[in-house]
Structure 1
Amino acid sequence: MVVQVTCHKLLTICFPTDMASVFQRCDKMEACLGLFKRMVEFNVEVTVYSLTIVIDGLCKRRRVKRAIDLMIEMASKGIKPNVVTYNTLINAYIKRTDFDGVNEMLRLMEVDEVAFNVATYTLLIDWHGSSGKIDEVERMFEEMCEKGIKADIHVYTVVINWNCKIGNTKRAFALFDELTEKGLVANVHTYGALIDGVCKAGEMEAAEILVNEMQTRGLDVNQLIYNTLIDGYCKRGLIDEAFKVQVIMEKKGFENDIYTLNTIADGLRKLNQPEEAKRWLLTMIEKGVVPNVVSYTTLIDIYCKEGNFVEAKKLFQEMKKAGGEPNAVTYNVLIDGHSKKGRMKEAYELRDEMRAKGIFPDIYTYTSLLHGECIFGKLDDAVELFNEVRQKGLPLNVVTYTAIISGLSKEGRSEEAFKLYDEMTEAGLTPDDRVYTSLVSSLHKA
C-alpha cells in the first residue's frame, strides 16, 4: 500500500516555526530560506514569528540586506512585520553602526503603525547613550514612561549605565531607588553599572558596599566587576588592594585576562614601580595571558626608559609578528625614549615609519622630537619642529611650550623664550615652575 502525502500537507506537518528555529541554530540558512519559499509556493501559512526567526538568523550572519528583502517580500504576501521583527533589524543596524539603517526602520515602523515596546526603547536608549547623547537617553526614557510602557530591569540598567558613564552617579542611584520601589530586582548588570560608576569617581568604599549588597542578595560577582574594582583601586594608587581583589578573583575560578594584565601593569607604572610592572607583565604572559598592543607598549615604554633599546626593539618586532599593529601610542613611546637618549636618527626613522603606515604624528610625537633636539642643543631644529606644529594646526600644550622655552632659555635666547611665554599664557595655558626657572636663568645668560 502506497501512502500519498501532498507537499502542502508535508510542509504543514513539519511545523514551519520549529523547522525555521532548528535551521537557524544549525547554520543552515539557505535551507531555511528554501523552506520559506516552498511554504509560500504551496500556500502554507507562514507566521510572523517564524519570519522573525529567519530574519534574526540572517542578521546574526550579517546578511541584513537579505533580511530586509525577505521582510518586504513577506509583507507583500500579507505577512506584516511586528515590533519584534523591527527590533531584530534595529539591533542589527546598531551593531553595524549603520544609523541610517536604524532611522529607516523607525520610519517603516511609523508607516506600518507598529508601536514601540520596552525592548525598542531599550535598544534606542542604549544607542543614544553609546553616541554620547545623554539628553536623548533621558528624553526617550521619559517618553516611554509617559506612554504607559512599563519599564523593566533591562531598560533601567541601560539608563543607569549611561548616567554612570558620564559621572552622574546621583541620577543613577535615584533610578536604582526608583526601580526598587517598583518591585523590580536589580541584576548583576545593574550592580555592575553602579560599581563602575563609583569606581570611576574614586569612591571605593561605596563600591565595596555595593559588592557586599549584591552578594547578600545571592548575586555572584563576575569577572567584569572584579576587573572594575581592580581598575578603581589602581586609579587611586591602592595597588595592594588591587592585588587583593585579583587574588580573590583567581580563587573564585576566574583567570587573569588581558584587562587584568594591563590594568595592574598601568597601576604599578603610575606609582613609579616600572620593575614591578615589568615583572608582573612577564609573569602573566608566561602563565598564558596573551599580550595585546597595550601590554607590549607598556613593556616597550619601560625598556625605553631604562635605555634598553635592544629589548624594546625586540618586543616591537615580536608584537608585529604576533599580528599586533603598533598604534600612535606605541610609536610615540619609542620616539620619546630614543629622543631623550639623544638617538635622534632612530627617532626620526620611527616618525617616518609611522607616517608610511598611515599613522599621523600628533602633538606628542612632535613634543618628544622637539624635546630631544633641545636637550642636545640643536635649537634651530627644535624651532623648526615647533613651527611645523603650528603650520599643521596641532594643539600646542604646556609640555610642548615648556620644552621649547626651556631649550631657548638654556641657550640664552631670552627674547624668543619670553615671546613664547606670552603666547602660551594668551592661549590660556598655565606655565609650571620649570618655565619660570628657565626664564629667570635665561636673563643671566642674555
Structure 2
Amino acid sequence: MATQKLLQTFKKTPITASPTSLSNSEMAQKIAKTLIKAGLKPFETTNSSLLSNLDSHITNLVFSNPNVPLHSCLNFFNFLRKNQSFVSHKPDLQSHLSVVFRLFKARRFAEMKRILTYVAMDSDLRCPVANLVSLVEESGFNNEPNFVEKLCDMLFRVYADCNLFEQGFRVFDYMVSYELKIDDRSCIVFLLALKRCDKMEACLGLFKRMVEFNVEVTVYSLTIVIDGLCKRRRVKRAKDLMIEMASKGIKPNVVTYNTLINAYIKRMDFDGVNEMLRLMEVDKVAFNAATYTLLIDWHGSSGKINEVERMFEEMCEKGIKADIHVYTVVQVIMEKKGFENDIYTLNTIADGLRKLNQPEEAKRWLLTMIENGMAPNVVSYTTLIDIYCKEGNFVEAKKLFQEIKKAGAEPNAVTYNVLIDGHSKKGRMKEAYELRDEMRAKGIFPDIYTYTSLLHGECIFGKLDDAVELFNEVRQKGLPLNVVTYTAIISGLSKEGRSEEAFKLYDEMTEAGLTPDDRVYTSLVSSLHKA
C-alpha cells in the first residue's frame, strides 16, 4: 500500500523532468554547490539551514545532478541515512534508486549491491520487484541498456545474502517472465544460501526451475545440490540427479564424485563407493587429494592394508600432496604391519610430515624405522639432518652427516644444501662456506639453492657486500635466479637502507617474469624510511 502511494506521487511529480518548484530547484542547486565546494562539513551541524526544508524532491534532484561527483553523492546519501536525529528527511526508495543508477553507470557494482541491501532489509523500502521496475521506468532509468536486468540480477543475490528467499524466488520468476538473463553465478549464490539454511526442498526446486527455464546450469550448481542432498542422507536422489544431468551434458567433476563417495562411505555402502569409482574411470575423471584421502581413510578403517599402501604410493607417484590425516592413517597401518615396506614409501611419509610442520613426528618415524632394522638411505638421513638443523642441533646433524659416509653412501647436493642452509640461518657462515668448498672438492657443483642459502645468511647478519658479491657470482655462473634469491637480496638491501639498489633488483625481477611476494613489497617500503 505504501509503495502504491509512493508510485502515485511520482507519477504526479516526475523528478527527471522540470523541477517540481523553483524553491526546490534552488535548494537542490545550493546543496549541490555546497557539496562540490566544501563537502559534508557545512551540513554537520544541527542548525544547518540547508537541511531544514529537505524533502524527497530536493534530495532526488541532488542525487541525480551529474555535476555532483559520485563520491560526494554517496557521502551525502550516507550522511542522511545515519543522522536521523537532526535530519528530518530519510532517503526514500527513489533516492536509493537514483544512487544505485549512478553507481551502475560508474560500474561500481559492490557499492550498488550495498545500497540494494539497504532496500531489501528495510520494510519501509522493500517492495515487489514489479513495482520497483515501474519506478525505474518512471524515472527514465530503463533507457540505460541492461540496467533493469542488472538491477534484478543483483537484487536476486541480495535477497539470497539476506535469507529473504520468498522475495528472491519472485525476482527469479519476474526475470523468467520478462526474458531477462539470469546469471548462473547468481543462482549459485542463491543455491548456496538455501543449502546453508537447510532448505533443500527449495534448493532442489530452484535447480529444477533453472533446468526448466534454460538458465545455464554448470557442474558447480549441480554439485551444490548433490552435496545438500547427501547431507540430508538423500544419497540415491543425489546419484539419480547426477546421472540425469550427465545425460543432458552436465558431466560431474571430481568434487561431485568425492561428495557421493563420502556419502556412501558414511553409509558403509561399499557397492555405492565402487560404483562411483567405476563411473569416474568411465568418465576419465582423475582422483585428487580429497579422493585419495577418502579412499585411504576408508581402506584403513576396513583393515585393507595393501589397498592403503597402493593408494598412497599412487598418490605420491602422481605428485599429489597428502595432508596430515593421510600420513597419520598410513603411519598407523605401516606400524601395525611392522615396517615391511620399501624405503621410498617410508621416506615419503617422513618428508611429508616434515613439510607439514610436524618435525617431531617425522623424526620419531625415521628413528623408529631405523630401530626396526630398516636401513636408511641418503634421503632418510637428509630429512633428519634438516630437522636437526632447524632445531639448531648441529652436533646431531654432523653426526648423521658422518654416518652417511660410514654407511658407504655419499651425501648429495640436497644434503649439503640442507646443512649449508641450517648453518647460514644461525650465523655459522664459516661452517657453511666450508661445506660449500667440500661440495666442490667432491665434484658436486653448488646450485642456486646453495648460493641462496649463503646469500640469505649474509643478509640476515648484515654483511651486504658479501651478499652482493655472491649474487653477482650467481649471475656470472648463469644460474637461474628465482623468487627466493631475489627476495633475500632485496630484503637485505632494504634493511640497510640501500633502496636504490633494492628497487633496481625489483625491476629486474619483474622483467624476468618473477612475481614478488608481500615480503618484497614490505621490504621496499621500509627501505624508503631508512634512505
Q: 1:238 aligns with which of 309, 317, 323?
A: 323
CA distance in 1, matches of 2:499, 2:344: 48
**Residue 368 (structure 2) aligns with:** 283
CA distance in 1, matches of 2:456, 2:525: 20
Structure 1 runs not aligned, ≥5 long: 1-168, 171-190
2:479 corresponds to 1:394? yes
Question: Which letter does structure 2 place at the counterpart of 1:339?
Answer: S
Describe the shift of the 1:203–1:233 C-alpha distance in structure 2 as closer, same or farther (beyond 3 A): farther
Question: Which letter does structure 1 place at the counterpart of 2:522?
Answer: T
**Residue 321 (structure 1) aligns with:** 406
Q: Is the 8 A contact 1:198 1:204 kept in 2?
A: no
**Residues 59-98 of structure 1 aligned to structure 2 (within 5 Å):** none
**Residue 467 (structure 2) aligns with:** 382
Cα RMSD, aligned residues only: 3.3
Q: 2:344 aligns with which of 259, 263, 267?
A: 259
CA distance in 2, matches of 1:312, 1:433: 33
From the CA coordinates, give the structure whose radius of gyration is larger: 2
Shift of 1:259: 1.9
CA distance in 2, matches of 1:430, 1:276: 34
2:360 corresponds to 1:268? no
**Residue 204 (structure 1) aligns with:** 291
Q: Is the 8 A contact 1:344 1:372 kept in 2?
A: yes
Q: 1:425 aligns with which of 487, 490, 510?
A: 510
Describe the shift of the 1:374–1:340 C-alpha distance in structure 2 as closer, same or farther (beyond 3 A): same
2:380 corresponds to 1:300? no
Q: Is the 8 A contact 1:402 1:434 kept in 2?
A: yes
CA distance in 1, matches of 2:293, 2:416: 39
Question: Which letter does structure 2 place at the counterpart of 1:202?
Answer: A
CA-to-partner distance for each residue in 1:357-381, whole Å, 9 max, x for gaps?
0000000000000000011111000
Q: Is the 8 A contact 2:388 2:396 kept in 1?
A: yes
Shift of 1:229: 5.6
**Residue 422 (structure 2) aligns with:** 337
CA distance in 2, matches of 1:427, 1:311: 41
**Residue 436 (structure 1) aligns with:** 521
CA distance in 2, matches of 1:439, 1:309: 34
**Residues 52-63 of structure 1 aligned to structure 2 (within 5 Å):** none
Q: 1:365 aligns with which of 439, 445, 450?
A: 450
Question: Which letter does structure 2 place at the counterpart of 1:350?
Answer: L
Q: Is the 8 A contact 1:230 1:242 kept in 2?
A: no
CA distance in 2, matches of 1:377, 1:330: 26
CA distance in 1, matches of 2:378, 2:361: 19
Structure 2 runs not aligned, ≥5 long: 1-252, 255-277
Shift of 1:347: 0.4
Shift of 1:279: 1.1
Q: Look up the SS of the partner of 2:289 in the other structure.
A: coil
Describe the shift of the 1:326–1:198 C-alpha distance in structure 2 as closer, same or farther (beyond 3 A): farther
Q: Look up the SS of the partner of 2:400 in the other structure.
A: helix
Shift of 1:205: 4.6
Shift of 1:240: 2.9
Describe the shift of the 1:413–1:291 C-alpha distance in structure 2 as closer, same or farther (beyond 3 A): same
**Residues 75-224 of structure 1 aligned to structure 2 (within 5 Å):** 201-202=288-289, 204-205=291-292, 208=295, 221=306
Shift of 1:284: 1.2
CA-to-partner distance for each residue in 1:307-335, whole Å, 9 max, x for gaps?
11010000000111101210000000000
Q: Is the 8 A contact 1:256 1:289 kept in 2?
A: no
Q: Could you tell which deviates more after superposition, 297-306 or 263-272? A: 263-272
CA distance in 2, matches of 1:433, 1:240: 30
Q: Could you tell which deviates more after superposition, 237-246 or 404-413? A: 237-246
Q: Is the 8 A contact 2:293 2:322 kept in 1?
A: no
CA-to-partner distance for each residue in 1:44-70, whole Å, 9 max, x for gaps?
xxxxxxxxxxxxxxxxxxxxxxxxxxx
Q: Could you tell which deviates more after superposition, 273-282 or 356-365? A: 273-282
TM-score, normalisation: structure 2: 0.43
Describe the shift of the 1:376–1:344 C-alpha distance in structure 2 as closer, same or farther (beyond 3 A): same
Describe the shift of the 1:206–1:382 C-alpha distance in structure 2 as closer, same or farther (beyond 3 A): closer
Q: Look up the SS of the partner of 2:462 in the other structure.
A: coil
CA distance in 2, matches of 1:254, 1:303: 23
Question: Which letter does structure 2 place at the counterpart of 1:432?
Answer: D
**Residue 60 (structure 1) aligns with:** none
Q: Is the 8 A contact 2:420 2:435 kept in 1?
A: yes
CA distance in 1, matches of 2:412, 2:505: 31
Q: 2:500 aligns with which of 387, 400, 415?
A: 415
CA-to-partner distance for each residue in 1:377-436, whole Å, 9 max, x for gaps?
110000000000000000000000000000001111000000000000000000011100
Describe the shift of the 1:379–1:245 C-alpha distance in structure 2 as closer, same or farther (beyond 3 A): closer
Q: Is the 8 A contact 1:237 1:271 kept in 2?
A: no
Q: Look up the SS of the partner of 1:312 in the other structure.
A: helix
Q: Is the 8 A contact 1:226 1:246 kept in 2?
A: no
How many residues were matched structurally? 249
Q: Is the 8 A contact 1:223 1:249 kept in 2?
A: no
Question: Which letter does structure 2 place at the counterpart of 1:399?
Answer: V
Q: Is the 8 A contact 2:494 2:526 kept in 1?
A: yes
CA-to-partner distance for each residue in 1:335-356, whole Å, 9 max, x for gaps?
0000001110100000000001
Q: Look up the SS of the partner of 1:276 in the other structure.
A: helix
Describe the shift of the 1:198–1:367 C-alpha distance in structure 2 as closer, same or farther (beyond 3 A): farther
CA distance in 2, matches of 1:249, 1:203: 21
Shift of 1:250: 5.9
